[in-house]
Each structure stands twice: as C-alpha cells, then as structure tokens.
Homo-oligomer: A and B are copies of this chain.
Amino acid sequence: VRTGNGYDVHQLVPGDGVTLCGLFIPHDQMLSGHSDADVALHALTDALLATCGAGDIGDHFPPSDPQWKGAASRIFLEHAAGLVRARGGTIMNADVSLIAEAPKVGPHREAMRRNLAEFLGISLDRCSVKATTNEKIGFVGRREGIAAIATATVVYRGADA
C-alpha cells in the first residue's frame, strides 16, 4: 500500500465563479490558470501520480501546452487514475481538503464527492471532500487564492502488502 500527497493553489481574480472538484460554483471571483484551475482535482492528480513515482501534473500536462487551455481538469485526474491502474494499482480512497475563505463548500460537498467517484471509478464512500477557511489570515484569508491538499491511497498488485 502506498499513499501520495498533493498540494495546489490558484489565484482568485474578479469573475463569476470557481470550478472545484469538477463543479462550477457561482462566486464573485474566479480562479486564474491555464486550464479550468480546479485546485482540488490538480492536487488529487498529483497525489495519485505520487503513489507510483510518476512525476507530477506539470510533467504530464505542461501549462505551456496550448491544448490544455481552459481544459476540464477531470481529464488530468482520469489520466492519472488510468496510469495507476495500468501499473496494477487499485485506488483505496481519495481525499481533498479545500482551503478557501469563500465560497462555502458544504452545500456542494455531496455533488463534489459524486464527481470524484465518477472520475476515479471508485465507490462514493472512498471519496472525501472537506473544506476550511484560513480564518482571514495569509493569502487564503485575504481571498487572494484557494489552496487544496489531497491524499490518495493505492494498493499495487504483487508489489505491495
């Protein structure tokens, strides 16, 4: 069994909403980035890649590559999940902590978990989405950005206990 972590952050700029865990939430700011800037899926993509030492999201999907402009980040996550499976891995669970002053994540948690379950092809009880503010301090507290911390646990056939 192997566990990987992931961390990502994107800047908030004036806009009409943010995409988190593949879900669009209306808001008076948007996340800035080359793709849809879904920090949650980016962090989780990194956590999955980490379980088999397969580099990071910037490696697989360079921000300099025009084909990923505005891309839905589920593409990145599904790619990582496919790569894990191709190496004999079974995804045990996936967990994301969103660190954001706003918008509120709670009302959208279940829809976000369902997205993770669909993108990863695992059961809902293995998918977790949590959220906290940064209590008004730091770059998150000043609403300059949203951060995400992810964890993924994978058992590799043959290789692992």
Using a CB–CB cutoff of 8 Å, the interface residues on chain A facing chain B are 1-11, 32-33, 46, 49-56, 58-59, 90, 92-93, 95, 97, 99, 106, 109, 113, 124-128, 130-132, 134-139, 141, 144-145, 149-151, 153, 155, 159-161
Copies of this chain present = 3
Query: Given A56-B131, A59-B106, A95–B50 Cβ distance below 8 Å?
Result: yes
Evaluate contact between B95 and A135: CB separation under 8 angstroms: no
A127 to chain B, nearest CB (A): 6
A92 to chain B, nearest CB (A): 5
Taking CB atoms, residues of chain B closer than 8 Å to A10 are 135
List B contacts of A145 (CB < 8 A): 135, 137-138
Do the beta carbons of A151 and B58 come within 8 Å of each other?
no
Give 18 new A-B contacts, CB below 8 A, not counting A9-B135, A51-B93.
Answer: A1-B153, A3-B153, A5-B5, A6-B130, A9-B138, A11-B136, A46-B130, A53-B113, A53-B127, A54-B128, A56-B106, A58-B106, A59-B106, A92-B160, A134-B139, A137-B144, A138-B145, A153-B153
